[in-house]
């Protein structure tokens, strides 16, 4: 079958061991960065199966209507909110997604951002390279408060690392999560306001869904200390539009580190966070390591190959037949 993989602008997918699972099929890997609608239609028009790389392309009704040969979209990872499921069902396009990949790479990246910020690693290295001595102190985390907003599969290892460094861990989420936090030896904030006001480092680890869209507001951020750091390796849309940039300009919190943005990929440095001296930004690379890639794509390629072989796959829109 004709299989197209859009949005591999890093050029990593064909290097995976799991890529061999598509052997025998006509596979095209697109390296385009944020292609236009016209380019997408041109390059996806003959696709029978599309393996979507995370949420990099929005599969809208308008796009689905332009892909007459399409039979299946396989979403890498679990989230499929970038795919119009009803439009796919209406046009006979099956959709399936994977399960959770390893949370550890995101937790590790969270801590990499924390240390890069509080220890000012980039500035320190740059100063050292030109033979100068720095004239600032780093920040020690021992005894400080680590706020964990969402103690899930990513938040839990983030919290455990903070505890290992001697930090007070303060969690806030649903009551069931609060009970688990106390069971693990952490504190549970009685309110979101307490979490934001007391955190020296606040890690945002919430899942993106309609209930959490814009859940972090300007009022929340204004409660933070001028010395505090907020870290987001989850989704940019958890923040109300524009509030993080404005809060950083006002100095509460004093710093931010982020791996996620409202419109990705960010090209040519065109994002207001990149213009701020008190923000450290990475280009959504927390998951760019071999183990996670193999988990995501290995599962997706298995589903694509199974569907092409006429086998039943688990669908997100069971109203469409599970066989080609």
The set of catalytic residues is: 235, 264, 284
Q: What's phi and psi for 50, nearest 5 deg?
A: -115, 130
How far apart (Å, rounded) are the C-alpha atoms in residues 77 and 6? 15
Residues 232, 254: contact at Cβ < 8 Å? Answer: no
3-state DSSP assignment of residue 158:
helix
Measuring CA to CA, which residue among 79, 52, 80, 84 is closest to residue 65? 84
How far apart (Å, rounded) are the C-alpha atoms in residues 180 and 125? 40
Task: Report which DSSP code applies to 167.
Answer: P
Place of tokens 């102190």: 137
How far apart (Å, rounded) are the C-alpha atoms in residues 103 and 292? 9
Backbone φ/ψ region at 268: left (φ over 0), alpha (ψ -120 to 50), beta: left
How far apart (Å, rounded) are the C-alpha atoms in residues 103 and 278? 27
3-state DSSP assignment of residue 236:
helix
CA angle 161, 167, 172 (to 5 degrees): 80
Measuring CA to CA, which residue among 236, 233, 55 is closest to residue 152? 233
Instruction: Show the 3-state SS of 119-138.
Output: CCHHHHHHHHHCCCCCCCCC
How far apart (Å, rounded) are the C-alpha atoms in residues 220 and 222? 6
Sign of the alpha-carbon dihedral angle for 274, 239, 122, 106: negative
């Amino acid at each position: 079958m004709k299989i197209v993989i859009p949005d591999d602008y890093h050029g990593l997918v064909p290097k995976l061991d799991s890529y061999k699972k598509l052997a025998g099929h006509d596979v095209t890997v697109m390296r385009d960065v944020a292609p236009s609608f016209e380019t997408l239609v041109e390059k996806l028009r003959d696709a029978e199966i599309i393996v979507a790389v995370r949420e990099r392309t929005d599969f809208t009704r308008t796009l689905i209507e332009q892909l007459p040969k399409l039979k299946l979209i396989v979403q890498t990872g679990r989230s499929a909110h970038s795919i119009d499921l009803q439009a796919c069902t209406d046009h006979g396009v099956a959709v399936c997604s994977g399960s959770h990949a390893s949370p550890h790479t995101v937790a590790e990246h969270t801590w990499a951002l924390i240390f890069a910020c509080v220890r000012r690693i980039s500035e320190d290295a740059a100063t050292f390279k030109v033979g100068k001595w720095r004239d600032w102190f780093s920040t020690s985390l021992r005894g400080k408060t680590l706020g964990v907003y969402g103690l899930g599969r990513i938040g839990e290892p983030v919290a455990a690392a903070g505890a290992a460094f001697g930090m007070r861990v303060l969690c806030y989420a649903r009551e069931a999560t609060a009970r688990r936090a106390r069971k693990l030896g952490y504190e549970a904030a009685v309110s979101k306001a307490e979490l934001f006001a007391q955190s020296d480092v606040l890690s945002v680890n919430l899942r993106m869904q309609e209930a959490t869209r814009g859940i972090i507001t300007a009022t929340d951020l204004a409660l933070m200390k001028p010395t505090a750091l907020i870290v987001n390796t989850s989704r940019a849309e958890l923040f109300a539009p524009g509030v993080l940039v404005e809060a950083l300009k006002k100095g509460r919190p004093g710093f931010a580190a982020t791996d996620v943005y409202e419109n990705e990929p960010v090209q040519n440095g065109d994002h207001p966070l990149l213009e701020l001296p008190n923000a450290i930004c990475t280009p959504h690379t927390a998951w760019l390591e071999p183990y996670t890639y193999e988990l995501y794509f290995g599962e997706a390629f298995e589903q694509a190959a199974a569907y092409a072989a006429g086998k039943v796959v688990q669908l997100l829109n069971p109203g469409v037949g599970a066989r080609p």
